[in-house]
Amino acid sequence: MHRNGKFAFHNVDIIVQTYESCKGSFTPPFTMNDLFFRSRKKKATIVVIDDDPAVVGLLKDDLENEGYLVVTGSDGQMAVSLARTHSPHLIIMDIKMPMTNGIKALEYLRGADVTKEIPVLFISGAKPEEIFAPIANLPRVSFIKKPIELAQLNATVREFLQKYPRAI
């Protein structure tokens, strides 16, 4: 315990009010053990790939607020590179992007032993019939249409992470 009742957990100072200093008026909704174990809980890593920086920012902010670690990129080549580097639990990726599109990136991912099991959630503003043909029967692949509803995205992410667990 540091001076003034401060504890340092992962660069975050938590000010703990003690029973004595509050004369019994404060009962914390957690114990110090809760704080310790919550701070040590590992989080799923998600790679977000889209050529639109606004979409990347929106998804990154939302997923981080949900408690995930988020790594971002802007094209399919970055998706493959980040997947190899970070071994994410899920990749959320646009389909229509310059350079390497999402479908081509998926082919590269499925062709490498280290990345072939990573689930991919495609996001796109394209018509679903244009999207479903190449991905319809692929395992560990799904699709959400843009504009993205964050509640639907969060529910799908939770579902994917439960359905396709990877070591965290």
Backbone region of residue 97 per phi and psi (left: phi > 0; alpha: psi in -120 to 50; beta: other values): beta
Given a cut of 80, whether residue 77 has pLDDT beyond it is: yes
With CA atoms as reference, report the closest residue to 136 among 122, 146, 147: 122
Q: What are the sequence ranges of the domains in the chain?
A: 3-40, 45-163
Given a cut of 80, whether residue 73 has pLDDT beyond it is: yes
**pTM across the whole model:** 0.73
Output the pLDDT for position 127.
Answer: 74
Confidence of residue 7 (pLDDT cuts 50, 70, 90): very low
Tens of pLDDT, residues 101-125: 999 999 999 999 999 999 999 998 8
Q: Which is higher by pLDDT, 132 or 85?
A: 85
> Residue for token digits 């991912």?
109
Could you please state the CATH topology (level 3) that the domain comprising 45-163 is classified under: Rossmann fold (3.40.50)
Quote the CA–CA distance of 117 and 120 in Å, as a whole number: 9
